[in-house]
Amino acid sequence: MPKRVLAAMSGGVDSAVAAARAAEAGHDVTGVHLALSKNPQTYRTGARGCCTVEDSRDARRAADVIGIPFYIWDMSERFHEEVVEDFYSEYAAGRTPNPCLRCNEKIKFQAVLDRAIALGFDAVVTGHYARKGDDGLLRRAIDPDKDQSYVLGVLTPVQLEHSMFPLGDTLKTDIRTEAEERDLAVARKPDSHDICFISNGDTSGFLKKKLGTSEGDIVDSTTGDVIGNHDGAHQFTIGQRHGLGLERPAADGKPRYVLSITPVENKVEVGPRDALRIGRIHTGVPVWLSARRSEPFRAEVQLRAHGAPVPATVTVTDDSLTAELDEPAYGVATGQTLVIYEPSDDGDAVLASGTIESTESLEGAGV
């Protein structure tokens, strides 16, 4: 049944083809580009992001070719408050956020969808690579290399109900071919990478400008010795190996990785890779995209946007999830997101997600 839909058009090939497919399917489509910065030059420039002047122009050209109305919505203040400031505060607290996931949660599928519904639209169309099954559940895309169900795992059932993902059943290579056939100028435009609001890709430098510098120690977990110093614990993340600035090698001669970050003491603890082996993960309040489970159940969990799923036993409480992993995961940081999948013949369905609050090593030591 045709719907009145709003197509979020970033200026890239995926969102352009998604909008074109929605229009071709008979839906009443209106394109909208989200202006995420008052001054786009302060965010990423060129053809790599989704916040630039070039991107808005590319989105408008695509809408003209498709033959749909097009508008630009200023979401810059909301984006800065919900995504950029959250990025700062999470790093300041020693956590590692995922800003793209937060943007999906707070901007594309909350602020935009709320406004769209208020204006009488039935759904929001995006170029994410994911599928909705006949049962309404969110499922992995056909293209495993482009699957984005992980970053959509934070959606609520209501948000998912009012979302459309036209690309989930197609390979990325075929999307580019289709874009050329539709005479869309973005057919060969490079995909966006890294964090869109960091203009030069220098995350450490970006954080330093906001959070400043503060000298602290880098401590070896095996000996307790200070083996280096830093000018801000917020510049590190769990599992980091390079750029530690160690003044001397560890006593055993092996590489060192960041094991923990203590903002209050401004201390960074490093140690051998084996110390990153995580066997148990605890989250905060879960978001359920399927029927809530009460008893422990078997599932697969994913810890990063393009990470391999890990079999696990999941235990549920009212305000948390605990995943007992069948095999160890490495470098899991608080602030990241745990997404739970149920494998099936129809494609892995997203059951729930939760922000990682703490982890435990295989030996049971908390991190």
- The residues that are catalytic are 103, 196
DSSP state of 360: E
Give DSSP secondary structure letters for 275-318: GGEEEEEEESS-EESSPPP-S-EEEEEE-STTPPPEEEEEEEET
Stretch (H or E) spanning 356: strand 349-361
CA torsion angle 77 80 83 85 (round to 10):
-130
Calculate the alpha carbon distances from 196 to 36, 48, 106, 119 in Å.
10, 8, 16, 28
Nearest-angstrom CA–CA distance, 187 and 164: 21
Nearest-angstrom CA–CA distance, 50 and 246: 36
Q: Within a 13 Å sphere around the CA of 284, how many CA atoms are in the beta-carbon half?
A: 8
Strands of the sheet with 226-230, listed across from one edge: 226-230, 216-220, 267-271, 257-262
Stretch (H or E) spanning 329: strand 320-330
Q: Closest Cα partner for 330 from 261, 281, 262, 266? A: 281
